[in-house]
Amino acid sequence: MVTALSERSSSPLLSRTFLQLSVISVVSGVSMAFAMPFNSLFLTSEVKVTPVQLSAFLIASPLASVLASTIMGKLSDGRVQRRYLLVAGGVSGAIGYGLFAVLRDYWFLLGTSVIFVAITSSLLPQIFAYGRAVSRGPSMMVSVLRTLLSVAWVAGPPLAALMVAETGWVGLFTATALLQLGVAVLAFTLPVPVAEPEEKVEEEETGPSRGGMSVVAAAFVFLQGAVGLAVSGLPLFVTTELHGTAGDAGLAMGLCAALEIPMILWFGSLANRMSQHKLVLVGAVIALSYHGLMLFTDAVWQVMAAQLLHATVISLVMGVGLTYFQSLDLGRPGHASTMFSNTQIVGGMIAGALLGASQQLGFRWVYGFSLTMCVLGLALLLVAGRVTGSSRP
């Protein structure tokens, strides 16, 4: 508490609390980037699950994550200190991935995923909610934390692939468990944010109602689902439709990730000076352009060039979008951050089903489905804007 009080007069971005929270964000992001991309490969190659078992696992785990994150979000806006919820998420991750390192029974792994790993999924929204609270209102802190998460995801998967090759699945999940334990230790020493009301007069006058927020959440399910589908389908599209290589697809995704890092910071700065609703609308319109262009690409270099558009979309929808949700429910940053995170999870589940359909129809359909989802998301955003108005910081 003393540390938090001493930081009231200094910039939140220069505070010890922010630096500590930044380390937590990076460590948490790397741990998730280690495990999440390789879950399906682990289950199919090591556990030898059937297609039905894999589908059940990939449906049950996200649903459990939504439930756990929602509960943790409500607790964080009540009397439970967010640092303790971060500790709980880290400890649960350490237990869950520690069990993944030694268990090879499908049902035990499923139980571990829907209990311990699901609780771990609440880490990111609680990190962002803590950042919003400690910065006492709209600031660059949340944007910087989101950028650090992107950096973690640029480095995490290649390191994880190398670790699997050198140490096997035991080494990968043991490292993930240790990183999660590190998150718990770092979170335990976080100070309690100063309880100070945000400057929210204008937001209260123009911000959406609870019903309007539900419409916005539905819009983001489609918009984030389109992003997830496009990213998941890119390697398959490049290798099957354009006859490129896996390296080409990896280069395209790495280029997109590198471009979005400075963009998230820039748009985060703009979001503090202009309507976040309008910025997200711009992102949805650019998404239509990206997916429309990808439908007609016939060369790998065109995919590379189009990643500038996709990086812009991700920065606006998934970067500014987080701050936008927090602005819609100023009194409950934990609930708002969790709702944003849950739209990504639900959108990812829809994307998984559409990716399976694209396998039957041809992977160019990935971008046809994504384009349709963006149209729906843009329409819902326009409805939310008309009914409730836009949000300004």
Domains belonging to the chain, first-starting first, are 2-188 (1.20.1250.20), 201-388 (1.20.1250.20)
Q: What is the mean pLDDT of residues 312-316?
A: 92
Report which of residues 3 and 359 the model is more confident about.
359
Q: What sign does the dihedral 97-103-108-110 (CA atoms) show? A: positive
* Residue 369 pLDDT level (bands cut at 50, 70, 90): very high
pTM: 0.76
Long-range contacts of 201-208 (CB under 8 A, 24+ apart): 202/392, 203/327, 203/330, 203/391, 203/392, 203/393, 204/330, 206/389, 206/390, 206/391, 206/392, 207/327, 207/328, 207/330, 207/388, 207/389, 207/391, 208/328, 208/384, 208/387, 208/388, 208/389, 208/391
Q: Coil, helix or strand for 194?
A: coil
Q: Confirm if 124 and 36 have CB atoms less than 8 A apart.
A: no
pLDDT value of position 115: 93
φ, ψ of residue 235 to 5 degrees: the values are -60, -40
Q: Confirm if 49 and 57 have CB atoms less than 8 A apart.
A: yes
Percent of the chain topping pLDDT 70: 88
User: What Cα–Cα distance (Å) separates residue 293 from each residue in 73, 244, 279, 289, 304?
Assistant: 38, 18, 21, 6, 12
Q: Rounded to an integer, what is the distance from CA 128 to the centroid of its chain? A: 11
Highest mean pLDDT among 57-61, 69-73, 202-206, 297-301: 297-301
Q: What is the mean pLDDT of residues 269-285?
A: 88
Of 213, 215, 226, the C-alpha closest to 346 is: 226
Q: What is the mean pLDDT of residues 186-198?
A: 70
* Residue 4 pLDDT level (bands cut at 50, 70, 90): very low
Report which of residues 266 and 359 the model is more confident about.
266
* Residue 199 pLDDT level (bands cut at 50, 70, 90): very low
pLDDT value of position 103: 94
Q: d(Cα 133, Cα 53) in Å, to the nearest integer?
A: 41
Q: What is the identity of the amino acid at 43?
A: L
Q: Confirm if 166 and 66 have CB atoms less than 8 A apart.
A: no
Q: What is the identity of the amino acid at 191?
A: P
* Residue 373 pLDDT level (bands cut at 50, 70, 90): very high
Structure tokens at 346: 């639900």
Q: d(Cα 301, Cα 298) in Å, to the nearest integer?
A: 9
The DSSP string of 76-106 is HTTTS-HHHHHHHHHHHHHHHHHHHHH---H
pLDDT value of position 122: 81
Q: What is the pLDDT of residues 234-263, one digit of tens each?
A: 888 888 889 888 778 878 887 888 888 889
Lowest mean pLDDT among 102-106, 288-292, 343-347: 343-347
Start-to-end C-alpha separation, the chain: 27
* Residue 61 pLDDT level (bands cut at 50, 70, 90): confident
User: What Cα–Cα distance (Å) separates residue 139 from each residue in 115, 268, 272?
Assistant: 34, 8, 7
Q: Coil, helix or strand for 258?
A: helix
Q: Confirm if 190 and 81 have CB atoms less than 8 A apart.
A: no
Q: Confirm if 42 and 201 have CB atoms less than 8 A apart.
A: no
| Angle of the 16-35 helix axis to the 141-188 helix axis, nearest 10 | 80
Q: What is the pLDDT of residues 19-29, one digit of tens each?
A: 888 899 889 98
Q: d(Cα 141, Cα 332) in Å, to the nearest integer?
A: 17
Report which of residues 78 and 235 the model is more confident about.
235
pLDDT value of position 283: 94
**Residue 155 CB-half CA count within 13 A:** 12
- Say which DSSP state 37 is in: G
Q: d(Cα 316, Cα 264) in Å, to the nearest integer?
A: 7
pLDDT value of position 370: 95
pLDDT value of position 393: 44
Of 342, 326, 328, 317, the C-alpha closest to 263 is: 317
